[in-house]
Amino acid sequence: MSTKIKFFKEALRNMQTLGTITPSSRFLSRKMLKKIDFTNANVIVELGSGNGAITKYILERLSPNAILICFEINDNFYDQLLKINHPQLIVLKASAEKMIQELRKLNLNKADYIISSLPFTIIPDAVSNEILAKSYKILEKNGTFIQYQYSLSYFKKLKQVFKEEILLEFEPLNIPPAFIYHCKKVD
C-alpha cells in the first residue's frame, strides 16, 4: 500500500490530532528547511513528525555529528518513523508538551532548530501555549522555530512568543497550500 494511502487512512481515523489528510509535499518540506544552517546545527527537534515526510529531508542534510529528535504520539506514525532506522535519528513516543523532560533524559538542554508540523489551530490553547513556551525556552540564542499552518490565523499567537523576528512564506504546491513561519529567538 502506498505511503499516501496509508497516511490518508490514518488521517481519517485521527483527524482530531493530525489536522490534515495528506503528508507534507516535497515542496513544503524543502521550503521549511531551506533557511537551516545544517553545518552548524547540532540538535534539531521535530514536533509531530507524522510518517516522516519532512524527517527524511532533514536526515539527508544533517551534519555527521548532529542528531534529530522526533516527537510523535500517533502509534502508526511512530512505528513508521522507527522503520527509518538512521543512526542520527531518535524517535520518541511522547507529546511535545514533554520536550524539556525528554531532552533532559538524553542529557540535552537546548536545540538549534525546532521544526513543527503540529496542527496548532485544533490543539487546545492551554496545550499549544505550553508547547510554544517550552519551544522558546529550549531554543539556543539565534535558534529558529519553524512551523507550517494552513491559514494565517496563528500568526498573532506566534508573535506573542517570538517577539523578535518572524519571517512568513507561502507554499502553494502542497495539499492544502501552507504558510511557513520562521520564528527566530534573538535573546
Environment class of residue 153 by beta-carbon count within 10 Å: exposed (0-12), middle (13-18) or buried (19+)? exposed
In a domain, 1, yes or no: no
Domain contains 92? yes
Average pLDDT over residues 129-151: 96
CATH number of the domain enclosing 50: 3.40.50.150
Q: Is pLDDT at 64 greater than 90 in this prediction? A: yes
Specify if 2 maps to a domain: no
160: CB partners within 8 A, 6+ apart: none
Domain-embedded: residue 15:
no
pLDDT at residue 22 in the model: 64
In a domain, 130, yes or no: yes
Residue 93 lies in a domain: yes
Domain span at residue 99? 24-184
Residue 44 has φ and ψ, to the nearest 5°, of -120, 135
13 within a domain of the structure (yes/no): no
32 within some domain: yes
pTM: 0.87
User: Given pLDDT bands bounded at 50, 70 and 90, which one contains residue 14?
Assistant: very low
Q: What's residue 8's pLDDT?
A: 42
Q: What is the pLDDT of residue 11?
A: 39
Query: What number is the average pLDDT over the span 132-157?
Result: 94
Domain count, the chain: 1
Q: What is the CA radius of gyration of the chain?
A: 15
